[in-house]
Structure 1
Amino acid sequence: MTTGKKVARRKLSLLELASELDNVSKACRIMGYSRQQFYEIRRNYQTFGAEGLVDRLPGPREPHPNRVDEATEDRILAYSLEFPTHGPVRVAQQLVLQGVQVSSGGVRGVWSRNGMLTRHERLLRLERHVRDTGIALNDDQVRTLERFSPEFRERHIETRCSGDLVAVDTFFVGTLKGVGKIYLQSAIDCHSRYAFGRLYTSKLPVTAVHMLNESVLPFFEEHDTPVVTVLSDNGREFCGRPDRHPYELFLQLENIEHRTTRVRRPQSNGFVERLHRTLLDEHFRIQGRKNWYESLDEMQADLDAYLRHYNHERAHQGRNMSGRTPYQAFLDSRPEGQPKEDNEGHYAA
């Protein structure tokens, strides 16, 4: 006797015992069934007879009569691949305009069967499709992937050595009584985090040029390290007509490439933005409560002292810094072929 028939006979014995005892609870305790199971067994027996006592093994079921046909399902999958962030209502409405009659519930049914109910699952499907086929993405798909994919969100600026990329920016410090508005022209080597800063009473191209010419380039020339690229935002002090703008002309004379960040996207110049926060937290907000400045030179002297501490004494916790000071990182990562300075400040041959 098969297992199925044994189970069916046991269920039949349960029904007979309950009828003899006229007590469903007692019969269930004796046979080891619950009352819910008993009523389900009795309902199946009354509906299907002896066949209702046989357990039905799971297997392929007939498709629902309202299930969309294969051609419509293919259209839904193709549309969701091109527009993975559209919801079921919008997908259904767009397909109706294209001559495909389908409801939002039908769209969700297709998504459920193909494991793409959530927006994240549809975006992952797009990534897998791109990886397998190598198709070109349109602008909307690229922007969507950048916004939702951790791989894009966690991108970092990559540099090869010191001087490979220097980020610059203008930062409004505040207003000094008797002097006026104070602006900080800042620069930082993106590889070693070596920082520079000068205070001015205006934000003009001439102040940006003065910062490079007086602070940044002399330091790199002193260490025989060329500045390859300068990264800035699209501020007027940095950008303009290449044949007229003072900053653009200065970079051309120094043979330095000029790159700009995306408009209204300060994250793409994150190194210098993080430097500004450090300067605020560790210098300006502290010194502004300890000292009463009457001139720009006094503020610049204190800023120079802090930058010496920042570059030569302060352990940096940034990415790939491993607790080194920016000056140590600068010397360790100079371009190949350049002499390196020893602990006493001398250059090795």
Structure 2
Amino acid sequence: MTTNKKVARRTLSLLELASDLDNVSKACLSMGHSRQQFYEIRRNYQTFGAEGLVDRLPGPREPHPNRVDEATAERILAYILEFPTHGPVRVAKQLLLHGVQVSSGGVRGVWSLNGILTRHERLLRLERHIRDTGIALNDDHVCTLERFSPEFRERHIETWCSGDLFAVETFFVVTLKGVGKIYLQSAIDCHSRYAFGRLYTSKLPLTAEHMLNESVLPFFEEHDTPVVTVLSDNGREFCGRADRHPYELFLQLEGIEYRTTRVRRRQSNGFVERLHRKLLDEHFRIQGRRNCYESLDEMQTDLDVYLHRYNHERAHQGRNTNGRTPYQAFLDGRPEGQPEEGNEGQQAA
């Protein structure tokens, strides 16, 4: 006799004992079953007969009647390939506009069956699909993949020497009573992190030119180092019509290449954006609580003191600085053939 038949025989004995004793509790107590098990056994016996007494192994079940049909599931999966970061509610509403009626729960059910419940899983599915089919990515796909892919997050701007790339930007600082809005024209050497900054009451091409002409270019000329490229955002003080804009004409006269970042891509100019964060946290937010400024010159004086400490005394841990000050990194990173400061007299002798 097989094991299944022995189990069925013992289960049938429970039903017969309960019938003989006319007491379910005593029968369950003597056979070692609970009342709930007894009623389940009796229901299976009444429904399936003797086969219902044998334990049935779990197997494939019929699909739930409320499950999304295959055609709708394919539409959901196709939509997610195009917009992998949309949530279930938005997917359901967008598909409804195209005549596909499905609930947000149904969308999540399809995602669950295909193992793409999380946004990261849907993005990985998009990567696999692109790898297998080789279709072209649109701008939304590229931006999303760059934001979530560790390979793109680890990218950085390559610079080969001091002055190779110079980032500039205009930054609103504060509104000063009696003076008006205060803007910072900031600039930083992307190789050494050597920073410059001047405060103005307006953001015009004239102030951007003044910043370069009075602070940046004299410093580079003093150290016999050329400025090769200037990088800025698409602000109106930096760019416009190529044949008319004063800032671009000024750079052409100085023999400096000019580049702009992509629109709405602030990370493309990340060096100067990080500089603004440091200026806010380490200078403006502190000095604004210590001093009551009444003029632009007072703010500029304190800013010059901070920038001197930032460039000559503060150790940096960036990619090219490695614990050096920006000024030391600037001297070490000058193009080959440039004499180091302090050794010029010896070389001339």
- Fold match, TM over 0.5? yes
Shift of 1:137: 1.5
Distance in 2 between the 1:218 and 1:259 partners?
21
Q: CA contact under 8 A between 2:164 and 2:227: conserved in structure 1?
A: yes
1:274 aligns with 2:278: no
1:288 & 1:52 partners in 2: Cα distance?
A: 82
Match of 2:92 in 1: 88
Alignment of 1:215-234 (within 5 A): 215-234=215-234
User: Which runs of 5 or more residues in structure 1 are unaligned?
Assistant: 97-101
Checking the alignment, whether the CA contact within 8 Å between 1:224 and 1:338 is kept in structure 2 is: no
Q: TM-score, normalised by structure 1?
A: 0.78
Q: CA separation of 1:17/1:183 partners in 2, compared to 1, >3 Å: closer, same or farther?
A: same
The amino acid that maps onto 1:168 is V
Query: Could you tell me how far 1:130 is from its partner in structure 2?
Result: 1.2
Alpha-carbon distance, 1:44 to partner: 0.7
Comparing 197-206 and 115-124, the one that deviates more: 115-124
1:95–1:77 CA distance, 2 compared to 1 (3 A): farther
CA distance in 1, matches of 2:337, 2:33: 85
The answer as to whether partners of 2:316 and 2:326 remain within 8 angstroms in 1 is yes
Query: Are the aligned partners of 2:320 and 2:329 in contact in 1 as well (CA < 8 Å)?
Result: no
The code of the aligned residue for 2:227 comes to V
Q: Is 2:187 the partner of 1:187?
A: yes
Indicate the residue corresponding to 2:159 in structure 1. Answer: 160
Match of 1:197? 197
Query: Aligned-pair distance for 1:309?
Result: 0.6
Task: State the 1:28 CA deviation.
Answer: 4.3
Structure 1 residue 283 corresponds to structure 2 residue 287 = no
Q: Is the contact made by 1:331 and 1:340 (CA closer than 8 Å) also made in structure 2?
A: no
Q: Distance in 1 between matches of 2:155 and 2:48?
A: 67
| 2:171 counterpart SS class | strand
What are the within-5 Å matches in structure 2 for residues 276-315 of structure 1? Answer: 276-291=276-291, 296-315=296-315
Mapping of 1:109-124 within 5 angstroms? 110-117=110-117, 120-124=120-124
Q: Post-superposition shift, 1:319? A: 6.3
Task: Determine the C-alpha separation between the residues in 2 that align with 1:39 and 1:112.
Answer: 35
Distance 1:88 1:176 in 2: 50
Please say if residues 14 and 31 of structure 1, whose CA atoms lie closer than 8 Å, have aligned partners that are also in contact.
yes
Contact 1:182 1:199 in 2 (8 A): yes
Distance 1:132 1:270 in 2: 34
Give the partner amino acid of 1:251. Answer: L
**Residue 59 of structure 1 aligns with which residue?**
59
Deviations 1:280-330 (A, max 9, x none): 332234444545656544443332221111112113355675544323443
- Among all aligned residue pairs of Structure 1 and Structure 2, give the percentage whose two residues are the same amino acid: 80
* TM-superposed deviation, 1:10: 3.4
Cα separation, 1, equivalents of 2:258 and 2:30: 87
User: Is contact 1:92-1:107 (8 Å) kept?
Assistant: no
Amino acid at match of 2:327: Y
For 2:67 and 2:99, locate their aligned partners in 1 and report how far apart those are by CA, in whole Å: 16
1:7-156 correspondence to structure 2 within 5 Å? 7-20=7-20, 22-25=22-25, 27-28=27-28, 30-62=30-62, 74-84=74-84, 85=86, 87-91=91-95, 93-94=97-98, 96=100, 103-104=102-103, 110-117=110-117, 120-145=120-145, 149=148, 151=150, 154=153
Q: C-alpha separation between the residues in 2 aligned to 1:227 and 1:279?
A: 24
Change (3 A) 1:340 1:56: farther
TM-score after normalising by structure 2: 0.78
1:99 aligned partner: none
Letter in 2 for 1:160: T
Task: Give the residue type in structure 1 aligned to 2:234.
Answer: N
Whole-Å separation in 2 of the counterparts to 1:29 and 1:324: 83
Give, in whole Å, the separation in 2 of the partners of 1:238 and 1:150. Answer: 32
| Cα deviation, residue 187, structure 1 | 0.6
**Does the aligned pair in 1 maintain the 2:192–2:320 contact within 8 Å?**
no
| Structure 1 residue matching 2:197: 3-state secondary structure | strand
Shift of residue 184 of structure 1? 2.0
**SS of alignment partner, residue 274 of structure 2:** helix
Report the CA distance between 1:88 and its aligned residue: 3.3
Structure 2: distance between partners of 1:210 and 1:190: 20
Q: Find out whether 1:245 has 2:245 as its counterpart.
A: yes
SS in structure 2 at match of 1:137? coil
Aligned 8 A contact 1:88 1:108 in 2? no
| Structure 2 gaps, min length 5 | none
Distance 1:285 1:18, change over 3 A: same
Q: CA deviation at 1:229?
A: 2.7
Q: 1:64 Cα shift? A: 6.0
Task: Give the Cα–Cα distance (whole angstroms) in 2 for the partners of residues 47 and 29 of structure 1.
Answer: 25
- Could you tell me which amino acid in structure 2 is paired with residue 167 of structure 1? A
- State how far apart, in whole Å, the 2-side matches of 1:107 and 1:280 are: 45
Q: Which amino acid aligns with 2:191?
A: H
The whole-number CA distance in structure 2 between the counterparts of 1:330 and 1:75 is: 57
Could you tell which deviates more after superposition, 210-219 or 323-332? 323-332
Q: Does the aligned pair in 1 maintain the 2:76–2:91 contact within 8 Å? A: no
The one-letter code matched in structure 2 to 1:94 is: H
Distance 1:142 1:134 in 2: 14
Q: Secondary structure at the match of 2:172?
A: strand
Q: CA deviation at 1:185?
A: 1.3
